[in-house]
C-alpha cells in the first residue's frame, strides 16, 4: 500500500472503457500524481484499451459484478490497498433502452435500474466507510438531461437517472458533516459509442421500431454535441478541487442548456399558475 499523500488523488471510475469514462481515465493519467481504478463488467474490454492505460502502473483495471455487493466492496478494497487512498468516485456506467412504458416489461425496468441506479448506490455504500474515516472525498454521479426533461420512449432511462439525481441530492446533505462533496453530473448530448437497445415486445401502435428514424434521429441532427475530452478536463481541473459543489453540474453545448432551461421555465410557470387554487387545500 502506498503511503497516503495529500497531493495524490485516487479515482474510482465505473464504465471506464468508452465515452466519458474512458476520456476521464485518459485525462487523469496525464498527471503522474493521479491514481485510477477503472471498472467494467467485461475485463476483455479493459484489456483492449491502449497500452498507455493498461501498462500504466497508476491504473488498475477491475472486472466488477454490478449485482454483487461483496464484489464491488472487494474492488474498493483493492483500490485502497494498492494506492493507499480513495478520494474521488465517478459513477459513470450506463446503458439505455427505447420503448414505451406499456411495451417495457418488469424485467426491463429491473435490468436498467440495476445498472443506472442500484450499481452506483452499491459503489457509494462500499466507499463511504473509508471516506468518512478520512473526512474527505468527492462523489460524482453521472445522470442525464433526460432526467429533468424526458422524451418519448425513454421512461426507464429517465426514471432511473432521475432517481439517481434525487438520491444524490439527499446524499450530499447526509455526508456534508464528513467533508465529502457530492454532485450530479447532468450530461446533455455527447457523441459517444453509447448504444440504445429497443424493447423486445413492441406494440405496433407505438411504432417504436421506426421511432429513432422518425423522431430522435432528426432531433439529434439539429443539435451540436459536446466533447467528452473537454468535459473531462473541466471536471478534473476545476470541480474535482472545489471546497463546495452545487447539487447539479450541467454539461453540454448551448443546445443542452436551452433544452433544460425551457423545461425549468415550464415547471416554474406550472407552479405559479396552480398556486392560487391548489394552495387552498
DSSP, residue by residue, 163-195: HHHHHHHHHHHHHGGGTEEEEEEEE--B-SS--
Flag whether pLDDT at 195 surpasses 70. no
Query: Are the C-beta atoms of 159 and 116 separated by less than 8 Å?
Result: no
Residue 116, pLDDT above cutoff 80: yes
H/E element holding 260? helix 254-278
Task: Identify whether the C-beta of residue 154 lies closer than 8 Å to the C-beta of residue 94.
Answer: no
Which residues share a beta bridge with 250? 186
Instruction: Report whether pLDDT(5) > 80.
Output: no
DSSP character for 133?
A: H
For the cut 90, the answer to whether the pLDDT of residue 6 exceeds it is no
Fold topology of 9-189+196-278 = Rossmann fold (3.40.50)
Write down the H helix ranges in 101-238. Answer: 106-113, 119-134, 155-175, 211, 217-221, 228-237
The percent of residues above 70 in pLDDT, for the chain, comes to: 96
Question: Is the pLDDT at 216 greater than 90, yes or no?
Answer: no
Mean pLDDT, rounded, for 95-102: 90
* Domain range summary for the chain, segments of one domain joined by +: 9-189+196-278
Q: Which of the four pLDDT bands, split at 50, 70 and 90, describes residue 222?
A: confident
Torsion of CA 269, 163, 184, 144, to 10 degrees: -70
Give residue-wise pLDDT tens across range 251-274.
Answer: 999 999 999 999 999 999 999 999
Q: With a cut of 80, say whether residue 90 has pLDDT above it.
A: yes
| Model confidence band, residue 142 (pLDDT cutoffs 50, 70, 90) | very high
Of 152-156, 174-178, 194-198, 249-253, least confident by mean pLDDT is 194-198
Q: Look at residue 193 in the predicted model and tell me its pLDDT.
A: 63
Q: Give the single-character DSSP code of 206.
A: G
| Residue 91 main-chain phi, psi, to 5 deg | -85, 100
93 CB-near residues (< 8 Å, 6+ apart): 14, 15, 21, 39, 41, 66, 115, 119, 120
Taking residues 57-73, what's their average pLDDT? 98
Mean pLDDT of 32-53: 97
- Write the CB contacts of 270 (distance below 8 Å, at least 6 apart in sequence): none
Q: What are phi and psi of 188, to 5 degrees?
A: -90, -140
Check whether 192 has a pLDDT greater than 90.
no
Query: How far is the C-alpha of 145 from the C-alpha of 91, rounded, in Å?
Result: 16
For the residues 137-152, what does the mean pLDDT come to? 97
Cβ–Cβ < 8 Å for 141, 168: yes
Instruction: Examine the pLDDT at 104 and tell me if it is beyond 90.
Output: yes
The whole-number average pLDDT for the span 44-59 is 98
* Residue 174 predicted with pLDDT over 70: yes
Beta carbons of 160 and 116 less than 8 angstroms apart: yes
C-alpha to C-alpha distance for 122 and 138, rounded to whole angstroms? 16
Q: What is the pLDDT of residue 4?
A: 58
pLDDT at residue number 191: 78
Torsion angle, CA of 119/123/126/130, rounded to 10 degrees? Answer: -170
Mean per-residue pLDDT of the chain: 94
Amino acid at each position: 500500500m502506498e503511503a497516503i499523500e495529500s497531493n495524490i488523488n485516487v479515482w474510482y471510475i465505473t464504465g471506464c472503457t468508452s465515452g466519458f469514462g474512458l476520456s476521464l481515465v485518459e485525462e487523469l493519467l496525464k498527471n503522474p500524481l493521479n491514481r485510477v481504478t477503472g471498472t467494467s463488467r467485461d475485463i476483455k474490454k479493459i484489456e483492449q484499451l491502449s497500452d498507455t492505460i493498461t501498462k500504466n502502473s497508476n491504473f488498475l483495471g477491475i472486472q466488477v459484478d454490478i449485482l454483487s455487493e461483496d464484489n464491488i466492496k472487494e474492488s474498493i478494497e483493492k483500490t485502497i490497498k494498492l494506492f493507499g487512498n480513495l478520494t474521488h468516485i465517478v459513477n459513470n456506467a450506463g446503458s439505455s433502452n427505447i420503448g414505451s412504458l406499456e411495451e417495457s416489461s418488469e424485467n426491463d425496468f429491473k435490468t436498467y435500474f440495476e445498472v443506472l441506479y442500484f450499481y452506483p448506490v452499491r459503489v457509494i455504500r462500499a466507499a463511504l466507510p473509508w471516506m468518512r474515516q478520512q473526512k474527505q472525498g468527492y462523489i460524482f454521479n453521472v445522470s442525464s438531461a433526460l432526467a429533468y426533461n424526458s422524451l418519448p420512449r425513454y421512461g426507464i432511462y429517465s426514471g432511473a437517472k432521475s432517481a439517481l439525481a434525487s438520491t444524490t441530492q439527499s446524499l450530499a446533505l447526509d455526508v456534508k458533516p464528513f467533508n465529502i462533496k457530492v454532485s450530479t453530473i447532468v450530461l446533455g448530448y455527447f457523441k459517444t459509442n453509447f448504444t440504445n437497445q429497443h424493447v423486445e415486445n413492441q406494440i405496433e401502435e407505438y411504432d417504436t421500431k421506426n421511432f429513432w428514424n422518425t423522431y430522435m434521429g432528426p432531433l439529434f441532427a439539429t443539435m451540436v454535441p459536446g466533447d467528452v475530452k473537454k468535459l473531462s478536463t473541466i471536471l478534473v481541473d476545476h470541480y474535482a478541487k472545489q471546497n463546495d459543489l452545487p447539487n447539479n453540474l450541467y454539461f453540454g453545448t448551448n443546445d443542452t442548456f436551452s433544452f433544460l432551461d425551457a423545461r425549468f421555465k415550464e415547471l416554474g410557470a406550472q407552479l405559479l399558475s396552480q398556486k392560487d387554487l391548489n394552495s387552498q387545500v
